Amino acid sequence: MREHTTETRHPTTPPAVDTARHPRRTSAARGLPGLIVGNADEIVERWSAALSPRSGSTPPEVEDLLTEFQRTFVSMIPLALGPRREQIERIWTSTAELYGSLGAMRGLAAGEVVEEFQFLRETVIRVLYRDVVGTGLPPISLRELLRLNRFLDGGVTRASVGHTDTLYFSWLRGSGIPDPLTPEMLKEIRAQLVGLRQELEATGV
C-alpha cells in the first residue's frame, strides 16, 4: 500500500531584483524621479559632452563652474516632480537666471544659452526612454512627461531672462558688453550658486 503525503503549496514569489546587478531597472521601478536620480551622473556627463565643442577655449575654472551648475540643475529635476515642487521651482528659477547671466559674461548669444538648456532636455529624454523601452516596466505617463517639460521650459525662459538682464545693465553702464569674467566675478557667481544649493538643502527634501 502506497503512502500518500500531503504537500503544502505556496504561491510562487517572483525573485527580488538584484539592485547591484540591475540598477537601471530598480530606478525605473521608482518612476520618473527615480530614473533621473539613478542616471544623474550620466545625464551630467552627456550634457557636458554636448557643450564641449563650443567650450574648447573655456578656462578650466569656468568649466568647473559650469559642471557645478549642471550637477545642481540635474539634482533639482526629480525634486521638482515631487510634493514640494513650488519651493524647488523658485530655486530653479534663480539658478537658471544666474546661469543665463554667466552665459552673457562668457560671450554667448541669447540663442546659445537657450540651446545649452535644450541639450539638457534632449539628454534627459534620451536617457529616460532608453531605460524604459524594453524593460517590461510601465512607460512614463504623459502627465509626468508634461510636468517635466514644463519644468525644463521654465529653466530655458529664466536663463534667457538672466542673459538679457546682464546685457541690459551693461548697456546702462554705457558699453553694452558684459565685463569679461575675472577671478573675483567667478568667485561671486560660485558663492551665489552655493547659496542656492544651501536653500535647496534647507527645503528638507
Question: What's the pLDDT at 32?
Answer: 86
Question: What's the pLDDT at 132?
Answer: 62
Angle ∠(79,81,82) on CA atoms, nearest 5: 70
* SS3 category, 177: coil
Percentages (nearest 5) of helix, strand, coil residues in the chain: 70, 0, 30
Q: What is the mean pLDDT of residues 95-121?
A: 93
Question: What's the pLDDT at 98?
Answer: 97
| Structural domains of the chain, with CATH | 23-202 (1.10.490)
Note whether 154 and 73 are within 8 A (CB): no
- Cβ-proximal residues to 41 (8 Å cutoff; 6+ apart), any chain: none
Phi, psi of 59 (to 5 degrees): -60, 150
Using 50, 70 and 90 to split pLDDT, how confident is the model at 172? confident
pLDDT top residue among 22 and 187 = 187
pLDDT top residue among 183 and 20 = 183
Per-residue pLDDT tens digits for 136-158:
556 778 888 899 999 999 999 99
Using 50, 70 and 90 to split pLDDT, how confident is the model at 43? very high
Dist. CA 184–CA 178, nearest whole Å: 15
Element (H, E) at 7: none
